[in-house]
Chains A and B, each alone.
Chain A
Amino acid sequence: MLSSIMPTPKRLRDLIREIRSARTAADERAVVQKECAAIRESFRETDNTYRCRNVAKLLYIHMLGYPAHFGQLECLKLIASQRFTDKRIGYLGAMLLLDERQDIHLLVTNSLKNDLSHQTQYIQSLALCTMGSICSAEMSRDLAGEIEKLIKSSNAYVKKKAILCAFRVLRKVPDLMEMFIPSTRALLNEKNHGVLLTAVCLITEMCEKSPDTLMHFRKVVPQLVRILKNLIMAGYSPEHDVSGVSDPFLQVKILHLLRVLGKNDVEASETMNDILAQVATNTDTSKNVGHAILYEIVLTIMGIKSEAGLRVLAVNILGRFLLNNDKNIRYVALNTLLRVVSADNNAVQRHRTTIVDCLKDPDISIRRRAVELSFALVNSNNIRGMMKELLSYLENCDPEFKSDCCSNIVFAAEKYSPNKRWHIDTVMKVLTTAGNYVKSDLVSILIQMIAETTQLHAYTVQQLFLAMQRDISQQPLVQVASWCIGEYGEQLFNTTVEDAEAINVTEEEVVNVLEKVLISKMSAVETKEYAITALLKLSTRFKSMSEKIKRIISVYSRSTNVELQQRSVEYTSLFDKYDQMRSALLEQMPLMENRSKSVFAANGETSEGNDVLLSTTENVVRTNAENKQHITAPSVSQNILDLLDVSSSPVIPSKQEPPSKSGGVDLLDLLGGVASLATEPAIPNLVPVAPSVNLIDGLIGSAAHNNLLNGSAGFSSTFTAFSKNGLLVEFACERDGGQPTVTSISMKATNSTPTPISEFVFQAAVPKSFQVQLESPSGNFIPPLNGGGVTQLIKVSNPQKQSIRMRIRLTYKHNGNSVTEMGEVNSFPPELWQ
């Protein structure tokens, strides 16, 4: 006897008890391991008395997360058994334990084929159910015929399951669709709910997969309408009622299919208009299932070519959902409103107040959708009210949403503000409430906006000063405030501001606050840069403070930060050597042009925007120069003009510039780098000339050129080699001092989009008469929003001194897409080889 060799295996019940009583995880593991060993042992003995029990235990162990795949073959043996109980556990095991291994699937296919044509419906059902969950493409091809036969069976119990198996088969092998279409179409005449439910599912799947089939099934719309009508009118199957609603699951599926069929089809949509209105008005919403139907019907009405009246009805249903106590219903409503708001803005507007109330919802995902929807609803009629709500949301919302919310508020205010004063107030509120969450690109946009609002300069600068005085730790606020105080400092003492109390400050207090910003440990370097420039500007506006300011600035000539140090050194020399020019250099910035474009450039399509910005700033520099011509003494203005001319005209190497006057010579020495570096995009190099650069720095994000002060001996030039979709590749070319035929090009790639670029590879090719050598790049990852870049050194040797031409190829990943770009660079300045 076998039992004399081996003890009877534990019963499943006992095993469960034992596992449940295990005190620790280790105890449990020990029990399971011991049992697994016993089960393996028993599998090895080809005894089949206890196979079923063992597999059942193994399934329990599997559920606990332990490996149980050694039971796979045993399952197959059980499936092949004649006993129903064995088959049942065997198929269950197959569903839970089988993996995608082909050989095992092959074994199952045979058993499935036999069982699908078994005379007992329960065994057929087991096979169908298993097939529905593990069917592979191979199996689908092998068994499609059996499934199709079963769909036509007169037994509803088998039929409904076969229909869903067909669903699986079509998912795996869409080519088999043709074969199922006739039998599927006949299914809609059935009365059985299970069959109807599964048939609708299958038809939906078929229509979504193939446009031809979709056309074919458009004919069944009247039939579907009739089924739906019967459902809501007669409620003819009480056993499918769910709390008084007649088979809601079937209703939902039919509505879904109607949506698929009515999409972009006027005729089909017209056929269903009436029934949709009927269902929408007759569904009982005192029960939750009613909401499921209404939700589906809203989706369908919005998804097809429905009448305007019906669409309003749908949006109103969602409006009612928003007032529901159930958070799930509110969530669904907001989600759906978000989808339809662009198409039916007016209808959604009517529920604005309810939507705005959802900004205070305890559920974060509801709040997130409500805020998105609120921004979509803002227009010039409701801006004041909406902004009030959105600003209070901004104050209380989770940190992760703050920056986006700020940007959205600023853009909405930009677009719809009723007047300038309100606009400035809103922006100010954003700066004070969101603090450090304000994105850095907003700073430059705000500065530009404030600069443009000339009539409110006094008001703005006073308010900003007060806000900054209260809190110097909010970087974006301090940056904007510093810039404005630098520009419009004298307006702080303007007492004729409308509807606002004049503030009472002294020049010294203003300087003190800026000094505090410079000293504060909380200030970012960028903020300090703004502050130091503001101080410099104030030195001409507050004459009495000049000495003090000079002292403050000079301290930073020893700063460890290169940028600050450079500014300090340059500014100090403005005090010492060029004092007579200082006031002219520090004039107020002229207004920028082309603003509307630049604002949105910073928010989106960037490469184009950058061009706009560059040309804008160039205009500024030009107007600046023109202004100076009128204001300043001729000798000085001449020099400045020389200097600025360089930036807009083609390159003039510094050595060719004849030093004419003593002041000018010094200035050229100081700024020699500028003159030699300057070509079109060389504006950032003008740092010492006008603080406008601060603004430009922020916008185009180009790091300051630290080699400004080196009057380089050889020729050098910087230009844009490639710019597209936010990726900017700049070439800084230099003629090698030692080898005159070699040009070194330093490639710098930056990314102004909000998402990072990865796997960036730069390749270059030149005609045969040249030789190119690429050194290894500094990396392959470019952070977003100009937060850094990749640099790579390229050496081109040009023995024949021809004009340099180069082809470049860029590959990178952005937003998950692989991108390849090619370009040709022909704009190398001739000085590189002549």
Chain B
Amino acid sequence: MIKFLLLVNKHGQLRISKHYQYMEKEDKQRLEKELIGICLKRGDKKSSFLEYQDFVLIYRCYVDLFFIAGVTKDENEIAIYEFFHLILETLDKYFPKLSEVDIQFNLDKVHMILDEMIINGNIVETSPVRILAPIQLLDTAKR
């Protein structure tokens, strides 16, 4: 199960933070700050998985965007690592030439996409077409 998912830019600024287990606000912020620090520092020589407290930390870096997730120990690390790529592909499909700025200006949309993919820390849908359908429908309705 995914405990939380963070999207961070290369300067370590948080862009999206989704927690699937309740945590006090202060603890949440402390944890996020610490994990971002760890992931940014690790560099590409080290593996993208590391054990941290009672969970496994998985992260993946794309140009200016970091995906960071904490998952329970029974989760398949490689699968989650590939799931990051699926998220990226899906976002890329929705925002042509995806960049960090798109996420900032369309916070609600990104949340919506992620909510179509993960519920309660479990993957719910993996087909980009199906994930994006409701959001695209909303866009046409607006126009």
**Contacts A132-B120, A197-B126 given; does A256 touch B104 at CB 8 Å:** no
Task: Decide: B127 and A331 in contact? CB cutoff 8 A.
Answer: no
How near does chain B come to A132, taking the closest CB pair, in angstroms? 4
Interface of B: prevailing SS: mixed
Q: Say whether B88 faces chain A, with CB atoms less than 8 Å apart.
A: no
Task: Decide: B47 and A292 in contact? CB cutoff 8 A.
Answer: no
Assembled-state Cα–Cα distance A641/B86 (Å): 83
How near does chain A come to B75, taking the closest CB pair, in angstroms? 9
Task: Decide: B46 and A164 in contact? CB cutoff 8 A.
Answer: no
Task: Decide: B47 and A295 in contact? CB cutoff 8 A.
Answer: no
**CB-CB contacts of A212-223 with B at 8 A, as 1s and 0s?**
000000000000
B91-132: which residues lie under 8 A (CB-CB) from chain A?
Answer: 104-105, 107-108, 111-112, 115, 119-120, 122-130
Question: What is the size, in residues, of chain B's interface with A at 8 Å between Cβ atoms?
Answer: 48
CB-nearest residue of chain B to A65: B29
Q: Say whether B41 faces chain A, with CB atoms less than 8 Å apart.
A: no
Assembled-state Cα–Cα distance A543/B137 (Å): 101
Interface hit among A42-50, A322-330, A775-783: A322-330
Task: Decide: B78 and A201 in contact? CB cutoff 8 A.
Answer: no
Q: Say whether A60 faces chain B, with CB atoms less than 8 Å apart.
A: yes
Task: Decide: B126 and A249 in contact? CB cutoff 8 A.
Answer: yes
CB-nearest residue of chain A to B79: A292
Q: Say whether A167 faces chain B, with CB atoms less than 8 Å apart.
A: yes
Task: Decide: B76 and A164 in contact? CB cutoff 8 A.
Answer: no
Task: Decide: B105 and A164 in contact? CB cutoff 8 A.
Answer: no
Q: Say whether A13 faces chain B, with CB atoms less than 8 Å apart.
A: yes
- Collect the chain B residues with CB atoms within 8 Å of residue A63's CB: 14-17, 107
Q: Say whether A570 faces chain B, with CB atoms less than 8 Å apart.
A: no
How near does chain A come to B12, taking the closest CB pair, in angstroms? 12
Task: Decide: A328 and B49 in contact? CB cutoff 8 A.
Answer: yes
Q: Say whether A247 faces chain B, with CB atoms less than 8 Å apart.
A: yes
How near does chain A come to B31, taking the closest CB pair, in angstroms? 13
A361-378: which residues lie under 8 A (CB-CB) from chain B?
Answer: 362-366
Q: Say whether A168 faces chain B, with CB atoms less than 8 Å apart.
A: yes
Task: Decide: B127 and A240 in contact? CB cutoff 8 A.
Answer: yes
CB-nearest residue of chain B to A288: B82
Task: Decide: B76 and A295 in contact? CB cutoff 8 A.
Answer: yes
**Contacts A289-B82, A295-B78, A327-B46 given; does A193 touch B127 at CB 8 Å:** yes
Q: Say whether A242 faces chain B, with CB atoms less than 8 Å apart.
A: yes
Assembled-state Cα–Cα distance A122/B140 (Å): 15
Q: Say whether B143 faces chain A, with CB atoms less than 8 Å apart.
A: no
Assembled-state Cα–Cα distance A366/B47 (Å): 8
A42-100: which residues lie under 8 A (CB-CB) from chain B?
Answer: 56, 59-60, 63-65, 69, 84, 88-89, 92, 99-100
Task: Decide: A292 and B76 in contact? CB cutoff 8 A.
Answer: yes
How near does chain B come to A255, taking the closest CB pair, in angstroms? 9
CB-nearest residue of chain B to A327: B47
Task: Decide: A165 and B119 in contact? CB cutoff 8 A.
Answer: yes
**Contacts A16-B104, A88-B112, A164-B119 given; does A332 touch B82 at CB 8 Å:** no
Q: Say whether B50 faces chain A, with CB atoms less than 8 Å apart.
A: yes
CB-nearest residue of chain B to A250: B126
How near does chain B come to A581, taking the closest CB pair, in angstroms? 61
- Collect the chain B residues with CB atoms within 8 Å of residue A249's CB: 79, 83, 123, 126
Task: Decide: A328 and B45 in contact? CB cutoff 8 A.
Answer: no
Q: Say whether A818 faces chain B, with CB atoms less than 8 Å apart.
A: no
Task: Decide: B79 and A167 in contact? CB cutoff 8 A.
Answer: no
Task: Decide: B79 and A247 in contact? CB cutoff 8 A.
Answer: no
B41-86: which residues lie under 8 A (CB-CB) from chain A?
Answer: 45-51, 74, 76-79, 81-83, 86
Task: Decide: B125 and A160 in contact? CB cutoff 8 A.
Answer: yes
Q: Say whether A161 faces chain B, with CB atoms less than 8 Å apart.
A: yes
**Contacts A89-B108, A242-B86, A362-B45 given; does A296 touch B76 at CB 8 Å:** yes
CB-nearest residue of chain B to A294: B78
How near does chain B come to A571, taking the closest CB pair, in angstroms? 53
Q: Pick the most buried of A13, A100, A365: most chain B CB atoms within 10 A of its CB.
A: A365
How near does chain A come to B41, taking the closest CB pair, in angstroms? 13
**Contacts A63-B107, A65-B29, A249-B79 given; does A129 touch B115 at CB 8 Å:** yes
How near does chain B come to A201, taking the closest CB pair, in angstroms? 5
Query: How many contacts between A and B, using CB within 8 angstroms?
Result: 144
Assembled-state Cα–Cα distance A125/B105 (Å): 24
Task: Decide: A59 and B107 in contact? CB cutoff 8 A.
Answer: yes
How near does chain A come to B3, taking the closest CB pair, in angstroms? 12
Task: Decide: A330 and B47 in contact? CB cutoff 8 A.
Answer: yes
Q: Say whether A280 faces chain B, with CB atoms less than 8 Å apart.
A: no
CB-nearest residue of chain A to B28: A65
Interface of A: prevailing SS: helix
Assembled-state Cα–Cα distance A423/B4 (Å): 51
- Collect the chain B residues with CB atoms within 8 Å of residue A281's CB: none
**Contacts A63-B15, A164-B119, A292-B79 given; does A332 touch B126 at CB 8 Å:** no
Assembled-state Cα–Cα distance A289/B77 (Å): 11
Task: Decide: A198 and B78 in contact? CB cutoff 8 A.
Answer: no
CB-nearest residue of chain A to B46: A363
- Collect the chain A residues with CB atoms within 8 Å of residue B24's CB: 99
- Collect the chain A residues with CB atoms within 8 Å of residue B11's CB: none
- Collect the chain A residues with CB atoms within 8 Å of residue B107's CB: 56, 59-60, 63
Assembled-state Cα–Cα distance A309/B126 (Å): 34
Task: Decide: A247 and B126 in contact? CB cutoff 8 A.
Answer: yes
Assembled-state Cα–Cα distance A64/B17 (Å): 10
Task: Decide: A363 and B47 in contact? CB cutoff 8 A.
Answer: yes
Task: Decide: A365 and B46 in contact? CB cutoff 8 A.
Answer: yes
Q: Say whether A355 faces chain B, with CB atoms less than 8 Å apart.
A: no
How near does chain A come to B89, taking the closest CB pair, in angstroms? 9
Task: Decide: B130 and A332 in contact? CB cutoff 8 A.
Answer: no
Task: Decide: B47 and A164 in contact? CB cutoff 8 A.
Answer: no
- Collect the chain A residues with CB atoms within 8 Å of residue B134's CB: 122, 125, 157
**CB-CB contacts of A309-344 with B at 8 A, as 1s and 0s?**
000000000000000000111111000000000000
Task: Decide: B47 and A242 in contact? CB cutoff 8 A.
Answer: no
- Collect the chain B residues with CB atoms within 8 Å of residue A239's CB: 127-130
How near does chain B come to A708, taking the closest CB pair, in angstroms? 49
CB-nearest residue of chain A to B14: A63
Assembled-state Cα–Cα distance A197/B122 (Å): 9
- Collect the chain A residues with CB atoms within 8 Å of residue B124's CB: 160-161, 164, 194, 197-198
Q: Say whether A133 faces chain B, with CB atoms less than 8 Å apart.
A: yes
Q: Say whether A252 faces chain B, with CB atoms less than 8 Å apart.
A: yes
Residues of A participating in the B interface, judged by any CB pair closer than 8 Å: 13, 16, 20, 56, 59-60, 63-65, 69, 84, 88-89, 92, 99-100, 122, 125, 128-129, 132-134, 157, 160-161, 164-165, 167-168, 193-194, 197-198, 201, 237, 239-240, 242, 247-250, 252, 256, 288-289, 291-292, 295-296, 327-332, 362-366
Residues of B participating in the A interface, judged by any CB pair closer than 8 Å: 14-20, 22, 24-25, 29, 45-51, 74, 76-79, 81-83, 86, 104-105, 107-108, 111-112, 115, 119-120, 122-130, 134, 137-138
Additional A-B contact list (8), CB under 8 Å, known A296-B76, A332-B78, A365-B46: A60-B107, A63-B17, A99-B22, A99-B25, A122-B137, A239-B130, A362-B46, A363-B45
5 contacts between A and B (CB under 8 A): A157-B134, A252-B76, A331-B49, A362-B46, A365-B49
10 A-B pairs with the lowest CB-CB distances in the bound complex, closest first: A132-B120, A292-B78, A331-B47, A292-B79, A132-B119, A164-B119, A239-B127, A363-B46, A327-B47, A194-B125
